[in-house]
Amino acid sequence: MEQSIPELFGSLVFSDKIMREKLPKDMYKALRKTIDNNTHLELDVANAVAIAMKEWAVEMGATHFTHWFQPMTGYTAEKHDSFICPVDKGEVIMDFSGKELVKGEPDASSFPSGGIRATFEARGYTAWDPTSPAFIKDGTLYIPTAFCSYSGEALDKKTPLLRSMDAISREAVKVLHLLGKTEVTNVLTTVGPEQEYFLIDLEDYKKRKDLIFTGRTLLGAPAPKGQEMDDHYFGNLRTRVAAYMHELDRELWKLGIPAKTKHNEVAPCQHELAPIFDTTNVAVDHNQLTMEIMKRVAKRHGFACLLHEKPFAGINGSGKHNNWSLTTNTGENLLNPGKTPGENTVFLIFLSAVIQAVDDYADLLRLSVASAGNDHRLGANEAPPAIISMFLGDELTAVIEAIEKDEYFGKVEKVQMETGAKVLPHFAKDSTDRNRTSPFAFTGNKFEFRSLGSSVSIAGPNIMLNTAVAESLSIFYEQLKDTEPAKMDEAVRKLVKDTIIKHKRIIFNGNGYTDEWVEEAKKRGLYNLKSTPDAMPALIADKNRKMFIKHGIYSDSELESRYEIRIENYTKTVHIEALTLKDMIQKQFAPALMDYIDDVTQSALSRQELGVTGAVDIQKDLIEKLTGYYASVVEATKKLSDDVDKAEAMDPDIEAAKFYHDTVLSDMDEIRKYADEAEPLIPEGYLPYPTYEEMLFYV
């Protein structure tokens, strides 16, 4: 009999239920304390957990374990060790100790460290993160871990994320205690990431070097149809896609990932998956796993899953909406406005903290979503613009305007929905409509940071967000801490009012896609960091450095290393794209075009020989036109090649990144312009790779 979904869910996870069953009571309690209250873990507890984990994993058929970590590549890494341990007479037992659970020692010399660690100091450590559950995949027990250097510097994305979660919790608790909420001991950030992706036929994928090497198409004329009919968004799922999504859900559920919503997205072949939100740390791990499982299940169904931000020019690219909120250990969502937001002191103070954080650290938020891939989306007419602003909606805007003017804002009356049809059920309307163009929108009881690219690890954006809000809260605490309890309400109101006046420039409820907004944002003094090289210096800007150090998120050297890695990552990405395009032009596109020119020439010549001259002039025109494109493409490729040589000779610094952006990328655009104009003139069968039409409309 098939397992029921509740039985299936989390069946590959070393869950709380399994821990409770397998661990001695006192050990279970000690572990829970570590997980829930961020306390230190003792070795005897680790030993007990190791035994229980191994027993369970072996029962489930696992033979190996791995410390699973997230180096600064943005991907995950793993090295597998078996449980076998030799005993007498050539026999083995399955063994796993607390020490092996808690600490691993991968040779770390080949992971990017941005200069933190020279290769002769190869030692790196992985340390068990008990707040993210272990799981089984392919016969191996996966243990989520943090990754650091011999000297204790973070070499990964998890460590700073956990530090940022600590920081925001610490600062939020201090403020909540001032407001009389002394029962709160811990505040968690929660995240629900909505993940977009493309599915195309695996056979098509295998024929495109650009997709294989760079994740996006570097050439390709638009198909006769794009997304203009709006017929794909929420459209019915084709059978093959539905079967894929069904299996994907089950695979994710087994790993305890609460996949909830799935639908077709705007572009042809584009889809979305959203899980139910979780604490940030778990959400990050789950999103990494989700991306991996998406690709894997796709192969089984004869698909390639594309997670690049812009796989196809001319139609929408893919993003990831980072829904974010704050919850106390007593279960209260601190961003829930309630029925009377104007009187909800806790809500108002946390709302103000977010407003101030986004305004003061908009450059960091922008940086956290900057990548070569996402540069093709942000600012194009599909994703939020590169300018970071906030959308609050009509109701909250009215509330804060009232506070600003010292007016009273009472209860918000829910308006009933009027459809005009009697049989339809009656329900109350949401107090605000949606705004799809805002990078950072309040959506009822959470904020939705919408600028993330589809392939990015969500760790980075959440580190920035958590730290910036922690900073606001720490400033608020300093301002309020000496206030007498009786005067607290008044002091908070003043603080909220001052914050609104100071930071309201970041609030924008209009259409973020217009040129007027770009002008207006400039007048307001908001950042408009258009590309990744423009955004990168924010990471080491003085004000940001100070904040990171104050809250213990990154040390100076950790920041420097991340800055270096980002530059390297950007230049390498564009470098690979340039080489791939050059290769495709030289080995595929130009020869195919010349084949066709030759064929038309032959045809014209032979018909002329026969004395049939009717269409020879037309053919001559075509030959000239195609030859013109051929010459332009080859010439532009020569320029690209020369510029890549120049780039390779540069030091790998911000200037090189700018050169790649300003010169190499525009060389690539130039090639593409001619190639895409020529492509529709080339008959089917000449190009050795599938066109947009074949890839996007025959799944």
Beta strands in 172-269 (DSSP E): 187-201, 259-264
Question: What ranges make up the beta strands (E) of 464-540?
Answer: none
Whichever of 64 and 286 has its CB closer to ligand ADP, that residue is 286
Least distance to Mg ion, CB of residue 441, Å: 9
Q: How far is the CB of 258 from ligand ADP (least distance, A)?
A: 8
Amino acid of residue 637:
T
CB nearer to Mg ion: give 62 or 465. 465
Could you give the CA distance from residue 211 to residue 202 in angstroms, rounded to a whole number?
11
Please work out, in degrees rounded to the nearest 5, the angle formed at the alpha carbon of residue 669 by the alpha carbons of 663 and 675.
Answer: 140
Select from ligand ADP, Mg ion, none the partner in contact with residue 324, using the beta carbon and a kind-dependent cut-off of 5 to 8 Å.
Answer: ligand ADP
Q: If 0-12 CB within 10 Å is exposed, 13-18 middle and 19+ buried, where does residue 342 land?
A: buried
Give min distance, CB of 307 to ligand ADP, in A: 18
Identity of the residue, 336 or 632, whose beta carbon is nearer to ligand ADP in the bound complex? 336
Q: Are strands 390-391 and 440-442 parallel, antiparallel or unpaired?
A: parallel
Out of ligand ADP, Mg ion, none, what residue 131 binds, judged by CB under 5 to 8 A for its kind, is none
Quote the CA–CA distance of 539 and 534 in Å, as a whole number: 11
Least separation in angstroms between CB 392 and ligand ADP: 16
CB of 196 to ligand ADP, least distance (A): 11
Q: Minimum CB separation from ligand ADP for residue 344, in Å? A: 16
Nearer to Mg ion, 206 or 434 (CB): 434
Closest CA to 105 of 75, 64, 149: 149
Check: CB of residue 381 under 8 Å from CB of residue 529.
no
Alpha helices in 481-589 (DSSP H): 488-503, 515-524, 532-535, 542-550, 556-584
Query: How would DSSP label each residue in 413-437?
Result: PPPBP--S-TTSPP-BPPSS---SS
Residues that bind ligand ADP (CB under 6 A): 190-192, 194, 261, 274-277, 323-325, 333, 445-446
**CA separation for the pair 180, 384 (Å, rounded):** 39
Token pair of 695, please?
């890839």
Q: Which of 275, 271, 293 is nearest to 190 (CA)?
A: 275
- Residue 275 binding result from Mg ion, ligand ADP, none, given CB thresholds of 5 to 8 Å by partner type: ligand ADP
- The nearest distance, CB 145 to ligand ADP, in angstroms, is 25
Smallest distance from ligand ADP to CB 434, Å: 7
CA angle 288, 291, 296 (to 5 degrees): 125
User: Which of ligand ADP, Mg ion, none has residue 660 at its interface (CB below 5 to 8 Å by kind)?
Assistant: none
Q: CB of 278: closest distance to ligand ADP in angstroms?
A: 8
Residue 242 near which of Mg ion, ligand ADP, none (CB within 5-8 Å, type-dependent): none
Annotate 174-190 with b (16+ C-beta within 10 A) or e (fewer): bbbebbebeebebbbbb
Smaller CB separation from Mg ion, 168 or 274: 274
Element housing 145 (H / E): strand 140-149
Binding site partner of 344, from ligand ADP, Mg ion, none, Cβ cut-off 5-8 A by kind: none
Residue placing its CB nearer to ligand ADP in the complex, 462 or 499: 462
- Of 52 and 257, CB closest to ligand ADP: 257
Nearest to 187 by CA among 197, 176, 179: 176
Please give the backbone phi and psi of residue 595, each rounded to the nearest 5 degrees, phi first.
-55, -45
Pairing of strands 270-275, 319-328: unpaired
Question: What are the φ and ψ backbone dihedral angles of 260, each rounded to 5 degrees?
Answer: -120, -55
If the CB atoms of residues 173 and 452 are measured against Mg ion, the closer one turns out to be 452
The secondary structure of residue 89, as a DSSP letter, is G
Provide, rounded to whole angstroms, the least separation between the CB of residue 445 and ligand ADP: 6
Question: Between 70 and 290, whose beta carbon lies closer to ligand ADP?
Answer: 290
Beta strand 140-149 with 64-68 is: parallel
- What DSSP assignment string belongs to 579-620? HHHHHHIIIIIHHHHHHHHHHHHHHHHHHHHHT--TTHHHHH
Out of Mg ion, ligand ADP, none, what residue 602 binds, judged by CB under 5 to 8 A for its kind, is none
333 interface partner picked from Mg ion, ligand ADP, none, CB below 5 to 8 A per type: ligand ADP
Q: How far is the CB of 473 from ligand ADP (least distance, A)?
A: 18
Residue 508 binding partner per list Mg ion, ligand ADP, none, with a CB distance cut-off of 5 to 8 Å that depends on partner kind: none
- The residue nearest ligand ADP at its CB is 192
In angstroms, what is the minimal distance from the CB of 325 to ligand ADP?
A: 3
Complex with ligand ADP: residue 28 or 350, whichever CB lies closer: 350
Least distance in angstroms from the C-beta of 189 to ligand ADP: 8
531 binds, among ligand ADP, Mg ion, none (CB under 5 to 8 A by kind): none
- Selection from Mg ion, ligand ADP, none that 159 binds (CB < 5 to 8 A by kind) is none
Choose from ligand ADP, Mg ion, none: what does 214 bind? Cβ within 5-8 Å by kind: none
Q: CB-wise, 458 or 644, nearer to ligand ADP?
A: 458
Least distance from ligand ADP to the Cβ atom of residue 466, Å: 13
DSSP, collapsed to helix, strand or coil, labels residue 122 as coil
How far is C-alpha 81 from the chain's CA centre?
30
Residue 268 contacts which entry, Mg ion, ligand ADP, none (Cβ below 5-8 A, type-dependent)? none
Alpha-carbon gap, residue 691 to 297, rounded angstroms: 25
Choose between 274 and 675: whose C-beta lies nearer to ligand ADP: 274
Residue 274, contacted partner among ligand ADP, Mg ion, none, CB below 5-8 A by kind: ligand ADP
Pairing of strands 64-68, 303-306: unpaired
194/309 with CB nearer ligand ADP: 194
Planar angle of CA 604, 608, 610, nearest 5 degrees: 125
550, β-bridge pairs: none
Find the shortest distance in angstroms from Cβ 90 to Mg ion: 59
Determine the straight-line distance between the first and last CA of the chain, rounded to whole angstroms. 33
Closest of 398, 399, 431 to residue 415, by C-alpha = 431
Shorter beta-carbon distance to Mg ion: residue 265 or 471: 265
54 makes contact, choosing from Mg ion, ligand ADP, none, with CB < 5 to 8 Å by partner type, with: none
Of the pair 133, 384, the CB lying nearest Mg ion is at 384
DSSP-derived secondary structure letter, 652: S
Q: Which residue is nearest to Mg ion (CB)?
A: 321
DSSP secondary structure letter of residue 131: T
For 316-361, where are the E strands, in sequence order? 319-328
Tokens of 410: 């009472």
Binding site for Mg ion (CB under 5 A): 321
User: Running DSSP on this structure, what letter comes out for residue 417?
Assistant: P
